[in-house]
Copies of this chain bind each other. A is one copy, B any other.
Amino acid sequence: MTLTSGRRPYNFSAGPAAMPEAVLQRAAQDMLDWQGCGMGVMEMSHRGKEFGAILARTESDLRRLLAIPEQFHILFMQGGGLGENAIVPLNLSRGGAVDFVVSGSWSQKSFKEAQRYCKPHLAASNAADGHTRLPEPAAWQLSADASYVHLCSNETIHGVEFQQLPDLAALGSRAPLVIDFSSHVASRPVDWSRVGLAFGGAQKNLGPAGLTLVVVRDDLLGHALEICPSAFNYKTVADNASMYNTPPTWSIYVAGLTFAWLLEQTEGDLHGLAAMEARNIAKAKLLYGFIDGSSFYSNKVAPACRSRMNVPFFLADESRNEAFLAGARDAGLLQLKGHKSVGGMRASIYNAMPLAGVQALVDYMREFERSFA
């Protein structure tokens, strides 16, 4: 599908999601022969020097991009965010108390799954608000003896995002913070001084589905429960440089192409992640600004808690939803249907979505509204 304008459609999928065109082109070009070695990336032994070079470059680019301090290990794993809902408590809980901040579907799932392995404690929840505003950290009921505190720093489905990570020490907790940053990783800086472990599925902002990124501080390794599968034991994975198991080599390679692309981005004087953040702020401002200025569309999330990445919105007259989606498809604006648990629409505007894509969406939304004036 190429539009008459000659551009690719804009893809607003929540994940797996749009990828930078330059990354896709490069991946296609290298398919049969990576850098003259006579093999495509999917065909390489993970223990050979070619893939070793890809992995090393991918890891060092990610470390640079996200400014990950030395005392953190970067692990490339499998199983996605739902897998990590078990893998994190298997590795970190020691079977004891764990505090959960529930801010939407994803943290709710994490809370529930953890019951298999530890004593999860609901420290805070925004369920009563319909997951439209984040619970205030000052009011969190943190345990004295938690092994860690879990939160989802961007809720993909409900579109709420922590604009700042909590300072747990200031809140009276000595526990490390675990964040599920699947759907906003690499869209903004991470304050690693406040984080013990961050995990994320790659398929939203980093690369293809099937790769899970785990960034974990040194001192949190080595405390896994005996029942933790070796392939999902962070210490085992770290000791083997993500090679205990055959890693998802293609997904790592494509994520690496994405990291290199991100590092090259500029926005005025800004480079890399700072440039992406500025672009993401501008995209979110454009879309939320338009929605807030309209009575035809609405977003229910408290402005201070709105996600820059996932923008759920509703038509005042929901009987027009199908017409809205059909017209959007015709205009080359894909995958805008909201998650079934929330309804309405959702525009996911990850790093690979240019400002022009959000502008095209806003133009279409304005036009659609006008057609009913």
Are B250 and A209 in contact, with the CB atoms below 8 A? Answer: yes
A274 CB–B CB distance under 8 Å: no
Are B334 and A38 in contact, with the CB atoms below 8 A? Answer: yes
Which residues does chain B contribute within 8 Å of A123, judged by CB atoms? Answer: none
Which residues does chain B contribute within 8 Å of A290, judged by CB atoms? Answer: none
A371 CB–B CB distance under 8 Å: no
Which residues does chain B contribute within 8 Å of A42, judged by CB atoms? Answer: 16, 19, 24, 207-209, 254
Q: Which of B9, B37, B210, B249 contacts A16 (CB under 8 A)?
A: B249
Q: What is the CB-to-nearest-CB distance from A2 to chain B, in angstroms, rounded to a whole number?
A: 8
Within A246-289, the residues touching B (CB, 8 Å) are 246-251, 254
Are B44 and A16 in contact, with the CB atoms below 8 A? Answer: yes
Q: What is the CB-to-nearest-CB distance from A224 to chain B, in angstroms, rounded to a whole number?
A: 11
Which residues does chain B contribute within 8 Å of A48, judged by CB atoms? Answer: 13, 335
Q: Mark A225-255, 1 if CB is under 8 A from B, else 0.
A: 0111111100000000000111111110010
Q: Mark A8-32, 1 if CB is under 8 A from B, else 0.
A: 1101011111110100110111011
Q: Which residue of B lies closest to A253 (CB)?
A: B208
Q: Which of B11, B231, B244 contacts A43 (CB under 8 A)?
A: B11
Are A86 and B11 in contact, with the CB atoms below 8 A? Answer: no
Q: How large is the interface on A (under 10, 10 to 19, 20 to 34, 35 or more residues)?
A: 35 or more
A177 CB–B CB distance under 8 Å: no
Which residues does chain B contribute within 8 Å of A137, judged by CB atoms? Answer: none
Are A208 and B249 in contact, with the CB atoms below 8 A? Answer: yes
Are A209 and B36 in contact, with the CB atoms below 8 A? Answer: no
Are B250 and A210 in contact, with the CB atoms below 8 A? Answer: yes
> Quick check: which of A62-70, A76-84, A309-317 contacts chain B, the rest being far away?
A76-84
Q: Which residue of B lies closest to A17 (CB)?
A: B43
- A11, A27, A86, A231, most chain B CB atoms within 10 A: A231
Are B249 and A250 in contact, with the CB atoms below 8 A? Answer: no
Which residues does chain B contribute within 8 Å of A78, judged by CB atoms? Answer: 78-80, 83, 210, 248
Q: Mark A92-128, 1 if CB is under 8 A from B, else 0.
A: 0000000000000000000001001100000000000
Are A15 and B246 in contact, with the CB atoms below 8 A? Answer: yes
What separation, in Å, do the CA atoms of A368 and B246 have in the docked complex? 33
Q: What is the CB-to-nearest-CB distance from A305 to chain B, in angstroms, rounded to a whole number?
A: 25
What separation, in Å, do the CA atoms of A13 and B45 have in the docked complex? 6
Q: What is the CB-to-nearest-CB distance from A58 to chain B, in angstroms, rounded to a whole number?
A: 14
A40 CB–B CB distance under 8 Å: yes
Which residues does chain B contribute within 8 Å of A25, judged by CB atoms? Answer: 31-32
What separation, in Å, do the CA atoms of A12 and B342 have in the docked complex? 50
List 12 additional contacts besides A42-B208, A42-B254, A78-B248; criterion CB under 8 Å: A18-B43, A21-B32, A24-B32, A24-B40, A28-B31, A38-B334, A46-B209, A82-B244, A201-B246, A208-B248, A209-B247, A209-B249
What are some 22 contacts across the A-B interface (CB < 8 A)? A8-B38, A13-B48, A18-B39, A24-B43, A28-B31, A39-B334, A39-B335, A42-B208, A45-B335, A78-B80, A78-B83, A79-B79, A79-B231, A85-B229, A85-B231, A208-B249, A209-B246, A210-B210, A210-B248, A210-B250, A250-B250, A251-B251
